[in-house]
Structure 1
Amino acid sequence: MADDIATVPAFSGSKKNKKDVPYTSPEDGMDIMEVANEGQVDQLKKIAADGNAHFHRLGWKRLTIVTIVEAVALGALSLPAAFHTLGMFLGVLLSVLLGVATIFTSYIIGQVKLKHPEILHYADAGRMLLGRFGYELFGAAFVLELLFVVGSHALTGSIALVTINGGKVCSIAFSAVSAVILLILAIPPSFSEVAILGYVDFVSIVAAIGITIIATGIQGTNSPGGLSSIEWTVWPKEDLSFSKAFVSVSNIVLAYSFAIGQFSFMDEMHTPRDYMKSIWASVSIQIVIYTLTGAICYAFIGPNVQSPALLSAGNLVSKIAFGVALPVIFISGSINTTVALRYVHGRMFKNSVARYVNTPLGWSTWIGLVTIFTILAWIIAEAIPIFSDLLSICSSLFVSGFSFYIPAVMWFVMLREGKGMQRTTSP
């Protein structure tokens, strides 16, 4: 009974006079029923107030870390191979231009959130665009995209553990181990808590990339003819097929995939208007990491570059790099589970304090959902065991829309004011 806010019974002294009188809590906007047992109402209010405070602790600095955690891991590891396919010029150009476009579309998403604070997740924006159909469509795509991304992290974790182990244990076993780690790390339901792990995540990916760049640079220098003999190209390969080019472009698009969680992240901010500080910081860091990682690794390795890029550093160094990269693989993967299930769990318990995940019912259902979601992601990882192809499927199906063209539609429908050439953006 204490978990359900919407159905607390009121009692006025006799069965004949028993009734439910709605009461609106000004603190959290939830409907609470007046009851004779004031202690029970006070308890519900306290649970709701504590939960509401717990989920509004995110500042712009931690949001910067969260958005980096959301995007950088898989993006950085897949880019050198994409540069090889597209050529150095297009690889660098797309990394920079898509980053700049991400800043603009993230600005639009943030403006929509500020104008419509009732939007908690991307699915709610779908409702405002297309009604109930849009809510269900966007909600399904939202969950599926994040499910695929978590599957990608399970696959990457399996590749990492197999590499470290030297292939002595079946990859399916390591894939299952990866899924268990992803499950455990996804148990904290608040993004402010995830942000604490995000600092470890960021150091991990920078260190792993640094090790890979240094190792491949040394290998290239020691190869016959030195670095000048590495056969990297400025332009795409002459025999490049559409499908290979599409996979490579999609992998770069996926590198800027954090927009899918931006509504969810901003909903936890204690000062949502600060969101652009985090966007500028986060995307600037991402552009630098992606461009330098893709260009330098490709220049040092040439046509033999692999995906993920850590496999190109040689047997011993790959083991070291993957060991250093384990935190980013699993922490970045787990945050996608949190983003997806905050929407699912919140929808299940819309009118209950269980949605704050601070009651027995809240915790039990949250952990149950995390378990189911992670198992499904693991199944996807086993069904599509090719790293670049799995990332490309995620990107082409979902990320391009959530990150780029849907925000443009939102501007026209939800922010635009005025008519004709006098149309302006509503603050």
Structure 2
Amino acid sequence: MTAEEFHPKTPDSKLKREDSYRDGHGDIENFGDLVAAERENEIKYRTCSWQKTAALLFSEYICLAILSFPWSFSVLGLVPGVLVTLAVAGTVLYTSLVLWRFCLQHPNILDVCDIGQKLFWGSPVAYEITSVFFILNNTFIQALHVLVGAELLNTLTNSPTCTIVFSAVTVVLCFFISLPRTLAQLSHLGIISAVTMGIAVILAMVFAGIQDHPFGYIPGQEPIVTVIPVKGTTYVMGMSAFLNITYTFVGQITLPSFIAEMKDPRDFPKALWAVTIAEVIVFTLCGALMYHWIGNQYMIAPAFGSLTILYKKIAFSFAIPTILFLGALYSSVTSRYIFFRIFRNSPHRHSNTVIGWATWAGIVGSTWILAFIIAEIIPFFSDMLSLMSSLFDCWFGFIFWGMAYLTLYPGHLKWSGTWRTLETIFNIFLIALGVYILAAGTYTSIQSIIDSYAKNLYGSAFSCASNAI
């Protein structure tokens, strides 16, 4: 299927005119003009092939969150777990293709903030609100990787070193990985990240199958595996498991930034299909097989914690590149947005100047300092991350792309024919689903925070206590 088949026809010639919000190119007819405009620049941004874009996508999706799928399956049951995984994967694939079609129609889009402005009738307020959501979402993901980096070092070393020190070490390493100015330069590290994380997941599945018993095994109490949710599963537990799967798949917030650095964005579906097929296979197998061998009562998230000590350390060690690189990728995407706003039409934006590089390094460093503070100051960070995901992913995973579809087919076009009508109804459903996730996810996260406080499960801010699994 070609890009032209995806590209909607519209009688309104105004839809062919692209308004430039920040890059100063004026009216642009196609991406070739944008690539040509960079020809004389020292730093060229639109250089990613679809293979390099695929490497970035694989590094984003083949991540540590895969090891939380067995926990979701243990709550939902084996069959609902598989069905939810397939349904969410298909939905994210579809909405990502809608996003791509929207970017093709608006070549000047640099990131999701531009899309937010276009969807809300060019409103500068919508642009700024989307920007705040964009930066907070990415920074919280960076903070997660700060904590996970400390968790990994604590797990592997069993050292008395203060966890804050391990967090700081993670921040420093991620800062240097984040320094390249273009995503094409990061894509090579993305390949290493995806491959090593794939090895970690495979080892975790193998070790779960060959170990005599899961970690924490109580003699006589064999692992319990159920096809459907166990009796007594609460709404909060079920929603938490569903949202855990959903939030792992929802990564569309970075896709406009990836597409904006492609030489030929028409090739984006090749990368998207490749990573989606891999996702479905790996996520489903990891969730189902590890749940089958570990069972309900011994399940820990991430599932590395359900392995015996030696197996846990071996498998977890292969996640090091992913923990460092994926945090750096989100820092790079955020820094790119801020850098482009500062140097809208300045030579520093695309030249190797001292001011340009100093500003870039300062922005990158600031994102990591903020991520470090967030990671250390919030004792209920995991639940806080779920709350932020509920507030943001409902927009960036569902609502935006339902709206984008309705924008692509204005007026009577959205009802032209049976298939188009059904597709329109589906996109209206996606918007409603996003609103539901906003409400249900927020409620679930807040209730989880309340319940955990009642059980005294939270530590203190800037704690030296080990967070090893």
Distance 1:360 1:388, change over 3 A: same
Q: Specify the alignment match of 1:328 in structure 2.
A: 322
**Which one is further off, 327-336 or 250-259?**
250-259
* CA contact 2:64–2:322 (8 Å) conserved in 1: no
* CA contact 2:51–2:271 (8 Å) conserved in 1: yes
Deviation at 1:419, TM superposition (A): 4.3
Deviation at 1:154, TM superposition (A): 1.1
Letter in 2 for 1:274: D
Q: Specify the alignment match of 1:356 in structure 2.
A: 350
Query: Equivalent residues in 2 for 1:3-402 (5 A)?
Result: 49-51=39-41, 54-130=44-120, 131-220=123-212, 229-303=222-296, 304-356=298-350, 358-384=352-378, 388-402=382-396
Q: Distance in 2 between matches of 1:141 and 1:230?
A: 41
* CA contact 1:250–1:391 (8 Å) conserved in 2: no
Q: TM-score, normalised on structure 1?
A: 0.83
Distance 1:420 1:126, change over 3 A: closer
Q: Deviations over 1:146-180 (max 9, x none)?
A: 11111111111111110001142221211111111
**Which one is further off, 389-398 or 309-318?**
389-398
* CA contact 1:129–1:413 (8 Å) conserved in 2: yes
In structure 1, stretches of 5+ residues that fail to align are 1-27, 32-45
Q: Distance in 2 between matches of 1:215 and 1:420?
A: 51
Letter in 2 for 1:165: T
Q: Distance in 1 between matches of 2:414 and 2:106?
A: 24
Q: Distance in 1 between matches of 2:214 and 2:360?
A: 53
Q: Deviations over 1:175-200 (max 9, x none)?
A: 11111111111111211111100111
* CA contact 1:121–1:264 (8 Å) conserved in 2: yes
Distance 1:241 1:379, change over 3 A: farther
- For residue 54 of structure 1, give the secondary structure of its aligned residue in structure 2: coil
Q: Percent identity?
A: 31
Deviation at 1:29, TM superposition (A): 5.1
Q: How large is the Cα RMSD of the aligned pairs?
A: 2.7
- For residue 347 of structure 1, give the secondary structure of its aligned residue in structure 2: helix
Q: Deviations over 1:111-170 (max 9, x none)?
A: 000001111110001111221111011111111111111111111111111000114222
Deviation at 1:60, TM superposition (A): 1.0
Letter in 2 for 1:286: E
Q: Distance in 2 between matches of 1:273 and 1:420?
A: 23
Q: Distance in 2 between matches of 1:84 and 1:202?
A: 26
Letter in 2 for 1:380: I
Q: Distance in 2 between matches of 1:258 and 1:136?
A: 20
Deviation at 1:300, TM superposition (A): 1.2
* Higher radius of gyration, 1 or 2: 1
Distance 1:256 1:52, change over 3 A: farther
